[in-house]
Amino acid sequence: MYYKKVEAYCKQNNIAISVFEKRCGLGNGTIGGWVDSNPRIDSLQKVATEMGISLAELLKDNQNVEEEGNQ
């Protein structure tokens, strides 16, 4: 679900995910890999910082999405 959050952020800010990855200091395809696997916490911290939110907020938003999906 982190991927969807980043994807929405990128669409809203009219930037490609690959550009966002570079801004975060992540490798090409890192965020795309989150569709099938869990990201590392240091990568999430970089993403949260670039988005201007706290890591806790990024994690919280993901937890809410997962809870809604299980209902």
Residue 61 has a pLDDT of: 61
Output the furthest CA–CA distance in the chain (Å, rounded): 36
Full-model pTM? 0.82
Give the structural domain span for 52: 2-69
Q: Domain containing 57 — which CATH number?
A: 1.10.260.40
In residues, how long is the chain? Answer: 71
Residue 48 has a pLDDT of: 96
Model confidence at 71: pLDDT above 80: no
Encode pLDDT of 12-64 as tens digits.
Answer: 999 999 999 999 999 999 999 999 999 999 999 999 999 999 999 998 866 55
Residue 53 has a pLDDT of: 94
Residue 30 has a pLDDT of: 96
Alpha carbon distance, N-terminus to C-terminus of the chain: 15
Based on the structure, what is the number of domains in the chain? 1
- Torsion from C-alpha of 56, 59, 63, 65, nearest 10 degrees: 120
